[in-house]
Structure formats: structure tokens, C-alpha cells
Amino acid sequence: MTAPRAAHKRTPEIRENLPAPTTPEGELFHYTPYEAAQWSPFSGRTLADLIARREIEYVFNGRDNYLTGLQIVALSRRYTVAPFSKPARAKTATAA
């Protein structure tokens, strides 16, 4: 005999038609970690964990944690790796 299975899997609700964080409407819009995941380099669960450990900036409204569009953009820039560029060759002094 096996243990009973859970009736349903809990998935976070994601609102429809969210403004992008880079738009003027999205700069101060409050996104849940799972909504912000589509514009950040992390999953929703990872963002929620980073917020819980207070490793990133977030907005707390007394009950829930949110990220503003500006915070999402700053987070993306923080973890963006620029391509490597080779340094210019140093000129060697020639003996005259």
C-alpha cells in the first residue's frame, strides 16, 4: 500500500499583460519573484530564495515581497558578463 498522492501541484500565479521593466510603466511596477524571472537571469524560486536571504534589494509591503522594474534591470546588469576583449599588443622598443 502506498501513501496518498497530493491532489494538485501548487504553482505561483503570474498575472497577464505585465509591462516590461525597461518601459516607463514598468520601472515602478511591482513584480512577484516568479513574474520577474522572465526578465532576470534567475528562476522565480532562486529570486525568492535570494530575497529570503536578503542578498538582493526588494520591496516588502507588509505581507509579500516584490521587485520593481528598476531593481530587475539593475539585477540583470549586475550579473551580465561582458565579452572578453584582448588587450592591444604592446609596442616593443627596437634597438637603433
Q: Determine the pLDDT at residue 2.
A: 77
Position 21 scores a pLDDT of: 95
pLDDT of residue 31: 96
Residue with cell 505561483: 12
Q: Going residue by residue through the chain (96 aa), what tens digit of pLDDT does each one get?
A: 677 777 777 778 889 999 999 999 999 999 999 999 999 999 999 999 999 999 999 999 999 999 999 999 999 999 988 888 877 776 666 665
Q: Using CA of residue 36, residue 39, residue 45, residue 47, what is the dihedral sign? A: negative
- Cell 501548487, located at residue: 10
What is the domain partition of the chain in residue ranges?
A: 30-78
| Contact criterion met (CB below 8 Å) for 19 and 69 | yes
pTM of this structure: 0.74
Q: What is the pLDDT of residue 83?
A: 86
